[in-house]
Amino acid sequence: MSEDKKRLNTEPPAQSEVSHPTPSDENLGSLAFREVTLGIAHDLNNALCASVAHLHSLERLICGDEKMEKRLHAALSGCEHAAYLTKSLLDHSKDLQPLTSTISLNDITQKTCEFVSSLIPENVSLTYRLDIPVSLVANPSQVQQALTNLILNGVRAMPEGGEIRVLVSHNAQHAFLSVEDTGCGMDESEIKKALQPFNTTWKESKGYGLGLPMVRRIIKHHRGELEIQSTKGTGTTMTLRFPYPGEVTKVIELQEEEGSPEERPCSLRGDSGSTIE
């Protein structure tokens, strides 16, 4: 009897006594959280639309009152911040669309750079360098969103001005889309924080810490990787690495025919190139 007692006392607790979440429980929890997030974001967006409409009505009534106009513009700015956060929540929570299109990475890069250059101030130069034609099976709007986030991330890292270079390149296995900035750079702990949702180092900007997590989610959806190289005080390079389905021989032949690609400034602000803050 004493042996039986000893054996029973040293056995681990029965599995039925310990509660472990199953994969199905985790999936259900994730789905429930996403549904709640989407619901809150939609409700918040509706409330913001009503608030902005009322604020614009007040704007007409207080025309000429400089003090009140200043307060009203501050309120509208706050609504814009909240709207940006709402959109980020919606983007982060919704399912990503399947990859059904064959896209030109050069075309997406050029269009995105020219689009972004029209939205940002002028104390940072933006240039891009295209590769030989590189085609990918991808979602074009998602790639554009990821590149836009990376460029704006670099812009926020350079409040005093600097340079951003966007580069398209490839090897036999992968296509690369890199964004280099000459900003403040990050140490290892800051890089880890930057990849967590709602963690942001941009206290003076409109960032809410969803940009890089969304970029990583998009590139994972494309079966690729986000690579970050950064040195504190000297700048950061963020690279989207896509699996490349092209044939090596065809790539080499094209490269020999076309020669090395040239670096180009964005063209929306004249021949001298776009400048970006």
Do 222 and 245 touch, CB atoms closer than 8 A?
no
| Contact residues for 121 (Cβ-Cβ < 8 A; gap 6+) | 275, 276, 277
37-73 confidence digits (pLDDT tens)? 667 776 777 788 888 888 888 888 887 788 888 888 8
- Work out the mean pLDDT of the chain and round it to a whole number: 73
Q: What percent of the chain has pLDDT over 90?
A: 20
Between CA 128 and CA 231 the distance in angstroms is: 22
Query: Which pLDDT value is given to residue 129?
Result: 95
Does the structure show a pLDDT above 80 at 238?
yes
Query: Which pLDDT value is given to residue 267?
Result: 39
DSSP string, 4-33: HHHHHHHSPPPGGGS----HHHHHHHHHHH
Between CA 272 and CA 277 the distance in angstroms is: 16
Between CA 75 and CA 225 the distance in angstroms is: 40
94-111 confidence digits (pLDDT tens)? 666 666 688 899 999 999
> Is the CA virtual torsion 165, 166, 169, 175 positive or negative?
positive
**Would you call 186 exposed, middle or buried from its count of C-beta atoms within 10 A (0-12, 13-18, 19+)?**
buried
Q: Is 101-265 a domain of CATH 1.10.150.120?
A: no
Query: Which pLDDT value is given to residue 165?
Result: 96
Do 252 and 243 touch, CB atoms closer than 8 A?
no
* 8-12, 76-80, 219-223: least confidently modelled range: 8-12
Amino acid identity, position 226: L
Query: Which has more pLDDT, 95 or 215?
Result: 215
Do 277 and 183 touch, CB atoms closer than 8 A?
no
Residue range 212-236: average pLDDT?
90
The domain segmentation of the chain, as residue ranges, is 23-93, 101-265
Name residue, tokens 């963020």: 238
Q: Which of 1-10, 93-102, 195-204, 216-225 has the highest mean pLDDT?
A: 216-225
